[in-house]
Amino acid sequence: MKILKTLVFLGMLLATGMAGATALSSYTFDSKEEEQAFRDFTAELRCLVCQNQSLAESDADLADDLRREVYTMWRQGRPQEEIIDFLVSRYGDFVLYDPPLKPSTYILWFGPFLLFVAGVVVLMRTLKRKNEDREVELTEEDKQRLSELLQDANENQDSKI
């Protein structure tokens, strides 16, 4: 069963790898490094049709067209910022998996930290309260009962041995 699962997983892994390969296979590069750099660059750009896929992997028609545009500019040696500007001026920040820091994205960038700080504050307060709770003075009655219980427990253990 485990072997079967592993095989299925490997098959899926292989399939995803091939999907990536076919999307870019029609383009030629000077070197393996350049191809990898292009792949990394387009992996940071979002396909607008299938929104959970990057331009590097999507088979959508529009992704194909955009990939060709990006490839052409890339081969002309244009800087990456210019290519990103080209896409953002047409499709907005939505095409970027790495959104820029600006007022409309503050909550996106700082929200998690705010939540983290809030969580730490709540945690500290809870721990502090727990600590205070622990320092409860036992009354004479409580102490009596405690020693009785402990003795009972000890006797039980002794009888088990």
Partner 1 sequence: MSSRTRYLIPLFVFLIMAGFLLKGLFMDPKFIPSVLIDKPAPEFDLPLLDKPDQTLAKADLKGKVWMLNVWASWCVACRAEHQVLNKLARMNVVDIYGLNYKDKRGDALNWLRNLGNPYVATIVDSSGRTGIDFGVYGVPESFIIDAEGVIRYKHTGPVNYEDIQAKILPVLNELKGATK
Token pair listed for 68: 């060709």
Question: What six digits make up the tokens of 85?
Answer: 């500007």
Q: Which stretch binds partner 1 (CB under 8 A): 8-16, 18-26, 44-52, 131-139?
A: 44-52
Q: Compute the radius of gyration of the chain from its Cα atoms.
A: 31
By the rule CB under 8 A, 128 interacts with partner 1: no
Question: From the CB of 40, what's the least distance to partner 1, in Å?
Answer: 22
Contact between 78 and partner 1 per CB under 8 A = no
Would you say 105 and 99 are in contact if contact means Cβ atoms under 8 Å apart? yes
If one asks whether residue 44 binds partner 1 (CB under 8 A), the answer comes out as no
Min dist CB 94 to partner 1, Å, is 5
For residue 119, give the H/E element and its range: helix 106-134
The amino acid that residue 50 corresponds to is: C
Residues that bind partner 1 (CB under 8 A): 48-49, 51, 61-62, 65-66, 69, 88-92, 94
